[in-house]
Structure 1
Amino acid sequence: MTASTTRCTTAAKPGTPRTSRIAAVAAIAVAGSMLLTACGDQTDKPVKTDQASGRPAIAAPLADRLPQAIRDKGEIKVGSDIAYAPVEFKDKDGKTVGIDPDLAEAMSKQLGVRLVFENGTFDTLITGLRAKRYDIAMSAMTDTKDRQQGIDSETKKKVGEGVDFVDYFHAGVSIYTKKGADKGIRTWADLCGKKLVVQRGTVSEDLAKAESARCVKAKKGKIAIEAFDTDQQAQTRLRAGGADAGSADFPVAAYTVKTSGGGNDFQVVGPQVEAAPYGIAVAKGNTQLRDAIKAAMDAVIANGDYKKILDKWGVAAGAVTEAKINGGS
């Protein structure tokens, strides 16, 4: 990415009265004699370059915080499950939109490189990060100690190195049902003996498995859990009557209830639970990139872009006042 330059052209503004345009023509005639000299002065000035790459220097306040390899390629590859509206999803034109893409765009202005989203299933994002397919993962990912330490949340066994998180949002988990058919479901305990749809690898799936074990212990019947690659697939299953309820992060559940079927398909039941931070995942040991991401998010929070983005998507309730590293529990 190169710094923008000013073009040596002059034009009357649209809608300028005719008399003003005549005056403008006279002014241009006078200025014309100076045009070549002015442009010559600009092109004669040396262009500031990055010493390591020889490319034009990146005009962004936090560019020098990034690892040189990232600056050289001019982009940060972002692993994301782009099917989780309103956090990240494809609009009708196929463009990646949502809370995370908007925040990434705001951070790119601070860092001077593009943040390029690459689609992947949620439960493979951390693996892709370890394999260096992505530089970071940004996908409504809850920061947990298990993920920090590379521990499987179900078996509690070590499965990898773990990741660091830059926390930037706070959200809980909600249950939703078909509208007008909640089947008496208000809390997680009410799901005993019922069927629940979730996205694979999410906190919703972890909570469902833990609750199902409690149901069995209380002899109330286990929760039949059906997990899908995407939340949209889970929604489709519930909409078709193939389950009693679904569960997703609160912003996602609320957006689904508001938009699916014009607001006539689903309803949120009960309060959100297990409120925890969303984190941008960075590979362990890549502390320079992690700290640059944190600095960029703090700058976006401080300059007001963060609030504007959350207000735009109706999720201001999850706002934080600063980014934190590994704040999850």
Structure 2
Amino acid sequence: MTASTTRRTTAAHSRLAAVGAIAVAGALLLTGCGDQTEENGSGTSDTASTSAAPLADKLPQAIRDKGVVKVGSDIAYAPVEFKDDSGKTVGIDPDVAAALGKQLGVKFEFENGTFDTLITGLRSKRYDIAMSAMTDTKDRQEGIDSETGKKVGEGVDFVDYFTAGVSIYTKKGDDQGIKTWSDLCGKKIVVQRGTVSEDLAKAENEKCPTGKKIAIEAFDNDQQAQTRLRAGGANAGSSDFPVAAYAVKTSGGGNDFQLVGEQVEAAPYGIAIAKDNTQLRDAIKAALDAIIENGEYQKILEKWGVTEGAVEEATINGGK
């Protein structure tokens, strides 16, 4: 996701993800829907004590002292992060955060926020990190507004932990001839505000002929966009592939939506951290490398049916 630079900004060059990645959709509901966190207020991941954590000494002392990493997240983006029926924060990100916490000896406490305000919250130190299916892009790294090209902040660093493309979906059995982004000309699409999906729609709209422009309706969260499409208020929706695939498999028992075409704009999700907090950044990178090496990372992705988005090692600022 993004805020004119969440993935949720458009990468410099569009490219198709592997066709085989579409098979992930079929696996999503075959996996479990629990998580490895214990809810505490706004969503706190349970971890081992600091004394038992092998990488605790890598953290800044202030975070070790308080024992908590505050995480800004838009908790409405299943299966990456969302509330289950009991109100508990679950998903890929909370599970990865809990695993990182075991290595670092702290709890990762998720706080809900609107996606396009997360980097601002990081800048104001409301959060220590932002973890919300956020695409690592050069614009975000440099604090550039992707629409205007103007610098709006000091930027952030990312620790990249997953790779995902963007997908289009329609009502089931009614794709209206939509297979690619160019097929959206003359039609209406619903998206989450500030995401790569919105950026892609705007970029495609510039290519559409006069009289066949794309009507773009943006919402605060993806669930609102899905509701609009489900009610017949648009021709198509777009989200990151894991999110779109999960909606296709779960909404209406799998009867509401269908994926169309292939993923585009495959790019890394990153954990966003303030530029001046390099010690925390490096600690999180070390913890991510540790859970990749010990197999816990792979188990989390298997649980959520998204193994094709796995990375082999943590990368800092790998987005283009």
- TM-score (normalised: structure 1): 0.82
State the partner residue of 1:224. Answer: 215
Instruction: Indicate whether 1:109 and 2:69 are aligned.
Output: no
Equivalent-residue separation in structure 1 for 2:280 and 2:298 (angstroms): 24
- Partners of 1:153 and 1:320 lie apart in 2 by 26
> How far is 1:220 from its partner?
5.6
What is the aligned counterpart of 1:312 among 299, 303, 317?
303
2-structure distance, mates of 1:238, 1:267 = 12
- State the alpha-carbon separation in 2 of the partners of residues 264 and 74 from structure 1: 44
Mapping for residues 229-268 of structure 1, pairs under 5 Å: 229-268=220-259
CA shift digits 1:143-202 (9 cap, x unpaired)? 000000111111111111100000000000000000011110000000001100000111
Percent identity, please: 82
Structure 2 counterparts to residues 90-105 of structure 1, below 5 A: 90-105=83-98
Q: Counterpart amino acid of 1:176?
A: Y
What residue number does 1:184 align with? 177
Name the amino acid aligned to 2:135: T
The amino acid of 1:194's aligned partner reads K
Q: Any conservation in 1 of the 2:50–2:56 contact (CA below 8 Å)? A: no
The separation in 1 between residues aligned to 2:313 and 2:246, in whole angstroms, is 25
Distance 1:74 1:265 in 2: 43
Residues 68 and 107, structure 2, Cα contact 8 Å, conserved in 1: yes
Amino acid at match of 1:75: V
Q: Which runs of 5+ in 2 are unaligned?
A: 1-48
> Which residue, out of 52, 58, 80, partners 1:59?
52
List per-residue Cα deviations over 1:45-104 (Å, max 9, x = no partner): xxxxxxxxxxx9632100000000000000000000000000000000000000000000
Identify if the C-alpha distance between structure 1 residues 179 and 219 changes in structure 2 by more than 3 Å, giving closer, same or farther: same
Q: Deviations over 1:254-303 (max 9, x none)?
A: 00000000000000000000000000000011100000000011101110
Q: Quick one: which of 288, 291, 301 aligns to 1:297?
A: 288
Q: Is contact 2:50-2:104 (8 Å) kept?
A: no
Structure 1 stretches of 4+ with a deviation exceeding 3 A read none
- The aligned residue for residue 316 of structure 2 is 325
- Residue of structure 2 equivalent to 1:169: 162
C-alpha separation in 2, matches of 1:97 and 1:224: 33
Question: d(CA) in 1 for partners of 2:275 and 2:218?
Answer: 29
Alpha-carbon distance change, 126 to 90 in structure 1, aligned in 2, over 3 angstroms: same
- Give the secondary structure class of the aligned counterpart of 2:51: coil
Paired with 1:150 and 1:165, the residues of 2 have a C-alpha distance of: 12
- Output the TM-score relative to the length of structure 2: 0.84
Query: How far apart are the structure 1 equivalents of 2:109 and 2:64?
Result: 14
Size of the aligned set, in residue pairs, is: 272
- AA aligned to 1:130 is R
CA distance in 2, matches of 1:146, 1:89: 27
Gaps of at least 5 residues in structure 1 are 1-55
**For 1:89 and 1:230, how far apart are their aligned partners in 2?**
11
The two structures, once aligned, show a CA RMSD in angstroms of 0.9
Choose from 256, 272, 275 the match for 2:266: 275
RCO higher in structure (CA 8 A, sep ≥6):
2
Q: Deviations over 1:111-143 (max 9, x none)?
A: 000000000000000000000000000000000
Give the corresponding residue for 2:151.
158
Rounded to whole Å, the distance in 2 between the matches of 1:260 and 1:140 is 20
Q: Distance in 1 between matches of 2:204 and 2:150?
A: 20
Residues 192 and 220 in structure 1, CA contact (< 8 A), matched pair in contact too: no
